[in-house]
Each structure stands twice: as structure tokens, then as C-alpha cells.
Chain A
């Protein structure tokens, strides 16, 4: 195509049209999919108009076929959109997917704007960055979050977010390892495990995949696994503060977890994405536990601290002491993955990350986190006042509400139908989530208050 052809067909986009609602997705997740059949596994394409549909001879990846449905949050978005179509005038409030809603503090966005502008200058232009991340940012992450824990700048790998890091870690570990997850847990752990080929088939009755060790976390065990009953797995995925239960593990519990991993020779993949939400003195990093460096790596994110859910920035820490059974350092293999399967987080975004970790940036992040925590308080109070057993909320932006004996999808549907509030059904996080609803605490204050008003109406 010649340049003139391009010019005659190109569309004029001013920045205002880019920002307008029609051009961009809202807080609401606009999942544009080719057809309505998405997420439902249809194995055979239907022939149309006597035309034979050509098929390649490439076998579909059997691991993909094991997945039961679409990823959880696009499914929630689908239900939300269907509801909006049914009730176009309803004011739907989203307390479903944990999507941040408050503007990013200016100190952070101006750093990103500045870096963007600099890219159009000779002195300021930069091309490929180090795949592990820009040095100043790595250093700032190490000193801010791991200052006195003996974690160094080169133990930090900057990424475009925890979800991507989880998959890169799965690529690193390969299909021959076994995993243990909390039950319930963030769906990306199990789903990425299925995709890479670590699991067996889905067992409908148990609602579990074969070969995964599910560590039940419920009110009875204080949302901490009963470790003596847990079978050994190579990799233990542990999230604290927890998504979805909102529970934060105590120092004592994490000490036992590290001990358990040491005894079994396992590796803990510790997800600390919500560490800044901790109110009390629970550990914010697994590396606060002595001995953790030999058994754990940690993944974290700017998403819920700085509202970077769309901006995309996170990191993974792999201590030098963490070794495979043959003595090979895990960090070395992860570095190879990062150099081959990734090309670094966006430089503009990393500039934002650095600003986040300046004194002004940190204080600004604390304020936003504090705002969401107030939301969580309001939601917790509401459900408590209605007589529900409520968990989480204190150390995390999620409130975990118990509806004993009920199907969580039914409760989800009823809440959506009757109050136009989107939540997340607990069973989406695993069989251990059945009977629970996750209410996320992100949202404008008035929306959260309005949602709570509606909950009170429904459940009074």
C-alpha cells in the first residue's frame, strides 16, 4: 500500500476522540470478542451455505481443551453487559472485577508525561531498555519494599504486571512440576497451570483439576491451610493479603509455610499484590520470614497501589539463594525467560513507577489506598449490620461475604438482578469459594455508598 493510499484511508484521531467514551473502554470492561460464542468451547465450526470450512491439520493444544470456560473476569463482564442490555436505564455499579477507579496522583502522571515528551527529543530518546527493568526503578523497588530484608537491585525483575509474571513463571517451571494453590484463589494460578500442562483433566464432581493440590482456606481454619494435611507439590502459590478472601497471613503462619516448603523442598510463589493494604502488623513480604530466601520468590504489582491497572507495571523478586534441585539458580533461568519471552515494561510506565516510589509518590499512593480501604470499611459495616458473616476487608480491598448453603452464582445473579450491583461469585475462585461472594472495594465513594444502600434494601 502506498503512503497516499494510507493517507486517504486513515482516520483522524484527535486526542479528545481517543479519550471519549466511544473510543475507549470505561471502568466497565468492554470485552470486544468476535462472536457471542466466546468463552464457550465449541469444538466444531458449523458449515455455512454448503461451503466446506477449511481446517488445518494442526491439533488443538489439549491443555487448552481442558479449560472449562472463559477466564473468570471476562465472564463476569459478559453477564454485566447482558444485564445492561436487559435494563438499559439501570445504574449498574461494578464491585466485581477489582478495577481501580480513582485518578492517579499527579506526581506520577506528570513523570510519565515528561518521559513521553522526552522521547521526542534527541537527548531524551531511548530505545530498548534492559529486559529486567531500568536500574533506578529496580533500585527504588529494592530499597522501598525490601530495604532491610537483604534483597538487592539485581534480584528485582520489572514487568508489565503480576498476571503476565505468573505465566512467565509457569513457562519457567514447565509442565513437569506440580502446584498447590489456596482454595479459593486468583484464577490465573490454576488457569495458567492448565495451559502449561501441569494438570490433569477437570473433575466435574470435585470442581478441581487433577494433579493440583487445593489447600482449602475457610473461616474454620482462619483462611490458612491445614499444612499437615497438604500433599507435597513442587510449587506453592500463596497470596497474602488474599484475593479473594481478603485474609492476610500472620507472621506465625508464614513461618510455618516457609518451614513446610523447606521440609518438602518446594518453592513458594508469593503474591504480595495487596501488601500496601495491610492495616496491622502482618508481614508485607515473604522475605520478612527467616529462611524464606531459600524457598520463595515474590511477585507484586503497582496496579492496586497506584491505579496502574491499565498502565501496566509490576515486579518479581527472585533471591540469589533460590536454587533448583541441581543447584541451578532460579533467577538465572527467569532472566533467560525475561530476555527471550519479554522485552521489558514500557519505559514511559517505568518512569511512572519511579515517581510512585519518590517520597511524594509514596505518600500519594498511601492516600489512594487509604480511600479504597475506607470503601472496604463501609462495605464490611453494611454486611455486618445485615447479619452476615463477613471476612477480609481489613487488610485487603476485598470483602468476602458468606452465604451458607447457597450457590454463589445464584447469589451473584440475584444481587445483580435486584440491585444492579456486580460482584464476583466465590466459586469462580475454586470450589472453596462456593457459598461466598467477593465484593471489591474499588469505586467512587458515592457508588460504594449507593451500592450499600441497595444491599440494605435487598437484605433488610
Chain B
């Protein structure tokens, strides 16, 4: 039989199909990725109301300028690339030595993370995918419910997740750890099935909740008992106000059970600049004793070629004493935004969570469908938010508002919300 590419007559045009089967995992994804979907709603709304002053409290995108000292360091580095002495080609895939050292010494000082355990990246979303590549399709995973969509979506793409079940709104092989007001947004671990991998984000996106030291000790104990690996997302650590841990490695024993992923995005306004890191402790081993760090290094050397050297120069400036102070003051600006929104919503009698340790407020509308609330608020106030169900079935009835934005915008948003809900 002579193999032939399939031909199909469509609208009087001959369309050629290859004979390459579409990846079934991609077929399992239910919609587009959440945030582009939100953007589509935004565009539709703009078309409907071209004169409306849209306020975006949807995607958590930073809005305030990057401090001078950081921008200047990147500009200087870029200029230097035009000189013989300053030109640099390929960098180490694991990241610039000085930056790895600065991350370890500035952000993990008291928990003895080595610079050799720090892998610099172009951001968390990419790191999560590289971790999934590392772990492969035969591991099981648990996520908080609700959670940052990339955990589940990458799990589906890599083939871990099983089939989507319409009724529950869940993927069959994933363990969803419900986090809501009823359990203080910390999973009931006694009721949680063992999985190989546990994704845990604290401070949490979308609920804004930061886990306590005691809760994280419980989590580490749970992981140890089950022989699981925690992937701890600490992207919002710098937003912690109280004494909640800023790193999983503050918990004794965590180095044997956890990987930590973090980012300069919400820390330094680097959402477009692209810089993050992952910490893989040397002590972390697979069941056969093989160090996870060895395999992650291999992934990083094969599937990646390092973060941009210019972005890394910016990162290093962020961790200098002056730079750190400057980026923290921007973080404080967003935290003040959060306070304003929290107060507004609370004053309206709404049930609000988060906002104290994270740039997100999580508002409960009991009995309502989150997309309906999303649409209602968008229609009546021209404010974009994110419907909680976009983060998993546990997000239904909730709405996430991000607290990035110029102060005037936040104040205007507060005004409009007051008008709508009072």
C-alpha cells in the first residue's frame, strides 16, 4: 500500500493533512489557557463599549516602572555587549555565577541554600514545564484547588492527568486539595490521597493566603511520610507581611522533600523582562537514590540555554542593597493597593480573603457562578477580574482581583465597586 497524505475537499479547496497524529494530551485541554481567554473577554468588551475606561484587575500584570538602578544596570550591560571587553556569548545554562550566589545569599541566607542548587530561568511558567519534563508522564500529582492554571495544564500536556470529567470539572488522575474558608485555605491532608508530586503555592495565587509555619511543617511531614516531592511556588514571598515562611526551606527536613520555584516577575516588575529561578536541593533523591538535581541540570542543559544575560544583569542589581530597597518599595506600593481594595470590599459587606500577604484579593459570592459575577462586574463597572473557576472547581463562587495598578486606577476601581455593591 502506497502511503499517501490524506486529502480532503473543503470549500472547493483541496486541503492536505499530514499523517501525524495530534498529541492526545493537547486534545484533553478544555479551553485555551485561562489568561488569554480573559483577554478575549476584554477585547469583546472594548468593542462593545469603545469609550469605556477599562480597569484591569485581571491578569496579575505589574504596572509600576522598574527602579532606575535596575534599568540602568541592564542598559549598561547591553551597551557593554558592543565592546570587546564586555561582550559575552553563551552563559552557563544554570545561570550567571554571581546571580546564583546573590539569590542564595540574599534570599536563602538563613536556610543554607547553596548557589549550586540555584538554577536561574526565564520565569516560573517555563520552570514548571521543565520540571514536568523532568518528572515525566508516569508520576501522579496533587494541586491545591483552586490553583495557578499552569500546574494542571502542564500536567495534562505531559500526560499525567488522565481524562477530564465534565461532572466534577476535574482531571481523573490529579488529586485536588480543596482550599477554602472552611479549612483556612490549607488542605485537609488526612483526606488527601498520596501522589508523587504536590504543587503548593504560598503566598497563594489566587486565594492570597500564606501558609503558616505549622501548616508547612504538616505539609513537609506529609510529604516525608508519603515519599512525595513538594514543588513549592514562592513567587509572592516578598509580599508576606507577617511571620509566615517565605521559603519552604525554612521548614526543617524540607530539603529532602521539596523543590522551590520563584520569580522576579512580581518581585521586581520583571513580567516582561523574564527572570526567575528554581532551587533543587542536593539532598533530594528519587526512589533509586538518584539526585533530582542531576536530572534537572540535564534538562536545563538540553531543553534550555539560560536566561538572557541582560535580564540576569537586572536581577543582580535587584539583589544589591540599593536595588533591593527600591524593588521592595514598589512591592509595598502594590501592597497598599491591596489594602485599599480589601477595605473597600470588606466595607461593602463582601466576604474577602487574601490581600495581606499577596497581591490578590479573593472575594466570595456564595451561590453564584464565578463567570456570571465576572460578566456582571465587567458589564456594570468595566473592571476585569478573574473568575475563580478558572483556577479549578474549588474556585467556583469566587472572584480574584489583582492589586497591581496605578494608585488612581485602584482608587477608581474602589469607587466603581462601591457604587455597584452599596
User: Which residues of A line the B interface, CB within 8 A?
Assistant: 1, 3, 5-7, 9-13, 15, 17-19, 23-27, 29-34, 38-39, 41-45, 53-64, 67, 70-71, 73-74, 97, 99-106, 108-110, 112-114, 116-122, 124-129, 131, 160-161, 163-164, 166-167, 171-177, 187-188, 191-192, 195-197, 232, 234-235, 261-267, 294-295, 307, 309-312, 321-328, 333, 336-337, 339-349, 352, 442
Contacts and interface: CB of A to CB of B under 8 A. Distances in A.
A56 B123 contact: no
B229 A58 contact: yes
Q: Nearest 8 CB-CB pairs, A to B?
A: A57-B227, A265-B19, A61-B136, A174-B23, A120-B71, A167-B303, A116-B74, A341-B129
A26 B107 CA distance: 26
B288 A60 contact: yes
* Size class of the contact patch on chain B: 35 or more
Contacts of A131: 36
B311 interface: yes
B72 interface: yes
A265 B308 CA distance: 37
B89 to A, nearest CB: 4
Contacts of A343: 122-123, 125-126, 271, 274
Given A27-B89, A64-B295, A109-B81, A327 B17 contact: yes
Given A232-B3, A267-B20, A25 B273 contact: no
B305 A112 contact: no
Contacts of A348: 74, 78, 273, 308, 310-311
28 contacts: A1-B110, A9-B105, A13-B317, A15-B317, A56-B223, A61-B138, A103-B81, A112-B74, A116-B78, A119-B65, A119-B71, A121-B65, A128-B271, A160-B122, A167-B133, A172-B26, A174-B26, A192-B302, A265-B18, A266-B19, A294-B18, A295-B16, A323-B16, A325-B22, A339-B33, A346-B308, A346-B311, A348-B310
A7 B97 contact: no
B64 A125 contact: yes
Interface in B77-91: 77-91
Interface stretch (B149-157, B343-351, B373-381, B382-390): B149-157
B158 interface: yes
Given A311-B308, A322-B18, A57 B62 contact: no
Interface in B390-406: 404
A341 B24 contact: no
B175 to A, nearest CB: 14
A263 B1 CA distance: 12
A60 B295 contact: yes
Given A11-B320, A172-B26, A195-B303, A19 B77 contact: yes
Interface string B29-54: 10011011000000000000000000
B422 interface: no
Contacts of B283: 53-54
B226 interface: yes
B100 interface: yes
B357 interface: no
B302 A195 contact: yes
Contacts of B93: 31, 74
A460 B16 CA distance: 57
Contact of B153 (A13, A43, A340): A340
Contacts of B317: 13, 15, 18
B59 interface: yes
A176 B77 contact: no
A59 B135 CA distance: 8
A307 B78 CA distance: 12
B410 to A, nearest CB: 16
- For B26, B62, B109, B297, which residue has the most chain A Cβ atoms within 10 angstroms? B26
A105 B269 CA distance: 28
A32 B106 CA distance: 19
A294 B23 CA distance: 18
A7 B287 contact: no
B328 interface: yes
Interface of B: 2-6, 8, 15-26, 29, 32-33, 35-36, 59, 61-68, 70-94, 96-98, 100-102, 105-107, 109-110, 114-117, 122-123, 125-126, 128-129, 133-139, 149-150, 153-154, 157-159, 196-197, 223-224, 226-229, 246, 256-257, 269, 271-274, 282-291, 293-295, 297-299, 301-311, 313-314, 316-317, 319-321, 324-325, 328, 404
Given A13-B320, A174-B24, A349-B310, 6 more contacts: A13-B102, A19-B85, A58-B286, A64-B134, A177-B21, A261-B18
Contact of A70 (B2, B84, B298, B311): B298
A56 B286 contact: yes
A262 B32 CA distance: 30
- For B2, B128, B308, which residue has the most chain A Cβ atoms within 10 angstroms? B308
A324 B21 contact: yes
B78 A310 contact: no
B106 A24 contact: no
B78 A30 contact: no
Contacts of B22: 324-326, 328, 333
A3 B22 CA distance: 51
Nearest to A64: B295
Contacts of B2: 263
B290 A60 contact: yes
Contacts of A99: 89-90
Contacts of A310: 81, 88-91, 306, 308-309
A129 B57 CA distance: 16
A258 B71 CA distance: 47
A325 B92 contact: no
B109 A58 contact: no
A415 to B, nearest CB: 21
Contacts of A100: 89
A295 B18 contact: yes
A173 B310 contact: no
A61 B77 contact: no
A117 B75 contact: yes
A128 B286 contact: no
- For A10, A309, A339, which residue has the most chain B Cβ atoms within 10 angstroms? A10
B93 to A, nearest CB: 8
B290 A347 contact: no
Contacts of B8: 327
A232 B314 CA distance: 48
A44 B118 CA distance: 23
A19 B80 contact: yes
Contacts of B81: 103-104, 109, 112, 307, 310-311
Contacts of A322: 18
Given A29-B90, A103-B81, A310-B306, A341 B20 contact: no
Nearest to A69: B298
Given A70-B301, A352-B78, A10 B321 contact: yes
Nearest to A56: B227
A55 to B, nearest CB: 5
B73 A18 contact: yes
A312 B16 contact: no
Nearest to A55: B285
A344 B123 CA distance: 10
B291 A45 contact: yes
B20 A324 contact: yes
A404 B234 CA distance: 55
B285 A56 contact: yes
B98 A13 contact: yes
B351 to A, nearest CB: 29
A31 B301 CA distance: 10
A67 B306 contact: no
B196 A103 contact: no
Contacts of B73: 15, 18
- For A24, A101, A295, A325, which residue has the most chain B Cβ atoms within 10 angstroms? A24
